[in-house]
Structure 1
Amino acid sequence: MKLSRPYYLCKSDRVVVLFLLAVLAFGVIGYHLLWPSADTTPIAAADSIRSKRSAVGTDSRRAYTYATPSRQVVYAPFDPNTADSTQLLSLGLQPYQVRNIYHYRAKGGVFRRPSDFARLYGLTAKQYRELEPYIRISADYLPASEVYAVHDERPKASSDSLRYPVKLRNSERIALNLADTTLLRRVPGIGAYYARRIVAYRQRLGGYAHARQLLEIDDFPEEALPFFTVDAGDIQRLDVNRLSLSQLKRHPYINYLQARAICDYRRLKGPLASLDQLRLLSAFTADDIERLRPYVRF
């Protein structure tokens, strides 16, 4: 009797075996493709991912952020047309605000008066109030008509330039709101330069409310103050309910933010009846309102 072949498989069994071998082969290949090798533990793989993310984050921060170490704010006079980044940062401005100043200047922008600085993109009302007393605009950036009308001290071809005016005696006084440059030069300590500055500032103010306002002129000699008398009735007052924003901000005591606040108040709540209504607005301090009081009418 013949024995059957011990390793013989029928056709259906061979198909099943081949199918299982194929599944096993695909499983092994897929395992190596989809999962890390046996040398890499889950903890090591996680650490690697975190390391890569940290490196990417660090590079990103280096490329797109500024180092802003804590710094002490030091207020000092500055010209926004020429101040460098170190000086601007020391005044408490943020790096993006300094960039905005540089971009404005690069495009040909000029700050011609302190109130122009209030229009800087990103500047807050609080920052402007703190910086305004320290803004000094160089005469190089003023309109030529203002510079030569006020600052030009070149001698004029007239006999007056060859004579010294007779100075006032200690008992004599002159009306500050009515005196011309010739009379002003008679005040001890006042020459042609300060005489022109007094008249020019008087025109911008609309008249002086008291003599100490002369100290708002750079380096004005305080010893000249006793020689002046002031009549507040000579002041030209502003109609704050009729003037436009551009007209209001021309006054030395009204900056851009304050002029805008007045216009917004009129638009939202109607005409002003008293300056005291502005006390609730952040653009005005109590000192601002009192300084402005002699110059407005309703």
Structure 2
Amino acid sequence: MSLRDYFYINKSDRRIILALLLLGMVAFVAVGVLDEDVPAETPSSADAKWRGGASQTQKAEPYYQVEAHRVERFPFDPNTADSTQLLRLGLQPWQVRNIYRYRASGGIYRSKTDFARLYGLTVKQYRELEPFIRISSDYQPASTLVAHDDGAQRDTLRYTAKLHEGETVSLNLLDTAALQRVPGIGSYYARRIVAYGQRLGGYASVKQLNEIDDLPADVQKYLQVTGDGHIRQLSINHLSLNELRRHPYINYYQARAIIDYRRQHGTITDLQQLSLLPDFPPEAIARLRPYISYQ
């Protein structure tokens, strides 16, 4: 085999190699032409160009831009001032939104110091605004319009006039508001007294208040029970076991004993008929008697 056989290239391969060589020559010539058109850049000119580009970028794209506006001072009422007025006073938009939310939720600025509680308001800002704050009298408590005999102004919704020594009221005719006139009784005890009276069907004696836990005993001297017309009685011959046991003075075993006695002996005409039963000692019959009807 001759040396020519080792370096033999067929016709199609020769065409490909020739095309690649031509493409390489064209690229080389193009790069040479472009390098001649671009002037050489010295280190000093490159540094100046970089500095100029940086300054132009900083001028064109600032980090943060705030629209400047002139702060004004004029009289204003924080309860009625609109957003334009509040912004003119120098408040920030988020502070204005907080004022609007506070007013929308029913908040009222009753004094200048109330406005000082605005979140984000500095001492300097408040001192500058304070001489211009005008709170309308329409936003003051209505209790300021009423003067009492002692010259003091008092909120009658918060303070209840108490009974004096020697004064009494009827226990069965009182509601929670009237009970709070009794010295030593507030809203908590008033609710408990009324609730227990409803369970009993009315009070037959002031001494029944001793059955309410922790109720001060000295409140009884301001209360009295007049007659029994306000007592709701139980029809002992007709009520079911569950209906009987709802009364505080009748437990489950007593209610069952009443039902059994009616079934065995018929109509009950007097509670004394139950005295022979072990569930009805004399004291149980005595306190239950005002609440029983035999009809």
> When the two structures are superposed, what TM-score results if normalisation uses the length of structure 1?
0.46
| Structure with the larger RCO, 1 or 2 (CA within 8 Å, 6+ apart) | 1
> When the two structures are superposed, what TM-score results if normalisation uses the length of structure 2?
0.46
